[in-house]
Chains A and B, each alone.
Chain A
Amino acid sequence: EPEVTQTPSHQVTQMGQEVILRCVPISNHLYFYWYRQILGQKVEFLVSFYNNEISEKSEIFDDQFSVERPDGSNFTLKIRSTKLEDSAMYFCASSRAAGGQPQHFGDGTRLSIL
């Protein structure tokens, strides 16, 4: 069964540095998403992406964050000037369509900011 893959599984970065989290969505999916989960807290929506542009974003997704689909397979989340509070699990998801279609999630990247 096709799945969403994320790399790396764990990323350790110094505060203030930039980090890029990578995702390979399911190949025939058209919608892509990033979520984050701070340890012990809820899963929070960050952004959705369709047709090479952001379709929705949350209040969390400020100018520090950006997303890109640099080629036909990868979907990336860039966090500039990382802060301690950016430490979390970051999940990528994809879906074939919007609305009623299920989203398929990867197993996440654990980001640790030191």
Chain B
Amino acid sequence: DAKTTQPNSMESNEEEPVHLPCNHSTISGTDYIHWYRQLPSQGPEYVIHGLTSNVNNRMASLAIAEDRKSSTLILHRATLRDAAVYYCILRLADFNKFYFGSGTKLNVKP
């Protein structure tokens, strides 16, 4: 399975934008890029996913590099509730399983 690399932790101030990077230099043409987050004592929560084009939804934006070897999850205005571990995951189109890495622990300061 293609590997992703994320910083162990990041810190942000409340109401400021947050850019969470992910490197996936071995991505293949059929890998979807998924982002999930896990709040304390909860199951992983879907945030956003994409294949080639940038994506926006009510939670976040996903910016995908032109060569697809990296992506960035953008939270436009961080809130205290956004403090969580964020996982960047590659998922082959024909397969069902996710491989979770260690993710980035985001701390949001008031």
Contacts and interface: CB of A to CB of B under 8 A. Distances in A.
Interface of A: 4, 31, 33, 35, 42-45, 48, 50, 55-56, 58, 91, 93, 95, 98-100, 102-108
Nearest to B97: A45
Given A42-B100, A45-B98, A99 B43 contact: no
A100 B94 CA distance: 9
Contacts of B96: 31, 33, 48, 50, 55-56, 95, 98-99
Interface residues of B, number: 24
Given A43-B100, A98-B96, 8 more contacts: A35-B100, A45-B99, A48-B96, A50-B96, A56-B95, A95-B96, A99-B95, A99-B96
Interface of B: 32, 34, 38, 41-46, 49, 51, 87, 91-102
Nearest to B49: A102
10 contacts: A4-B43, A33-B97, A35-B98, A93-B44, A98-B95, A100-B51, A102-B34, A102-B46, A105-B43, A105-B46
Contacts of B99: 45
